[in-house]
Amino acid sequence: MAYTVGYFIGSLSQKSINRTLSKALIRLAPDSLAFEEIPIRDLPLYNRDLDANYPPEARALKEAIERVDAVLFVTPEYNRDMPGSLKNAIDWASRPWGTNSFNHKPSAVIGASPGKIGTALAQQSLRAVLSFCNSPQMSAPEAYIQFLPGVFSDDGEVGDAGTEEFLRHYMEEFALFVERVLTVLPRA
C-alpha cells in the first residue's frame, strides 16, 4: 500500500540545508511513500480573531495536511528552538478548536544543523507541540544530523556511506510506522 507524506521544511530559505536534507530523504525513501511539500512561506501570523474567516493561505495549509496520510517535519534549529514560521504553521493547522488537522496524523521529525547536536532541542520542542496536537510520533530512530561540507550535494545525493545508510533506515522505519499507525487509526 502506498502512502502520501506531506513534508514541512522549517526554514523559509530556498538554500536551506534542511531543504537539501529533504531531497536526500525523498530519494532514499521506500517506494511505498510518495511526497508532497506543504509550503508555509506565505502564511500570515496566526491570529485567533481570524478563526471565523480563515485566510486562503491557512485554508490551503489545512487542506494540504488533510490530503496526506502522514507528515514529516524537516527543521533547522533557531536559538535552541524550532523556527517561528514552523510554529506559526502548526498554530494555523491546529485551529480553530475542534478542527485540528494533525489529529491522528502520523508524524516524524528530523533536522540538520552545522552544529554537533544537530537540531536536538528544536526537535524536542516540536515533539511537545505535536504531542499536544494528538499526532502519533515516530519516537525512534531519532535523527540529529550534523550537516558537514561534502556530505550532501544540492540535489540530495549523500556523499557519506554511513549517513546514507542511516537516512535510508530512518525512512524505512518511517514507512513502517505510518503503516502501523494507519492500520490502527485508518484514514478517514
Q: With bands split at pLDDT 50, 70 and 90, how would you rate the model's confidence at 183?
A: very high
Q: What is the pLDDT of residue 188?
A: 61
Give this prediction's pTM.
0.96
| Buried-state track 28-39, b at ≥16 Cβ within 10 A, e below 16 | bbeeebebeebe
How many Cβ atoms are within 10 Å of 122's Cβ, its own excluded?
A: 25
The CB density around residue 42, as the number of other CB atoms within 10 Å, is 12
pLDDT digits (tens, 9 = 90+) for 23-81: 999 999 999 999 999 999 999 999 999 999 999 999 999 999 999 999 999 999 999 99
pLDDT digits (tens, 9 = 90+) for 79-129: 999 999 999 999 999 999 999 999 999 999 999 999 988 899 999 999 999
92 closest CA partner among 124, 128, 129: 129
Which residue ranges form the domains of the chain, and what is each CATH number? 3-184 (3.40.50.360)
| Four-residue CA torsion sign, 131, 132, 134, 135 | negative
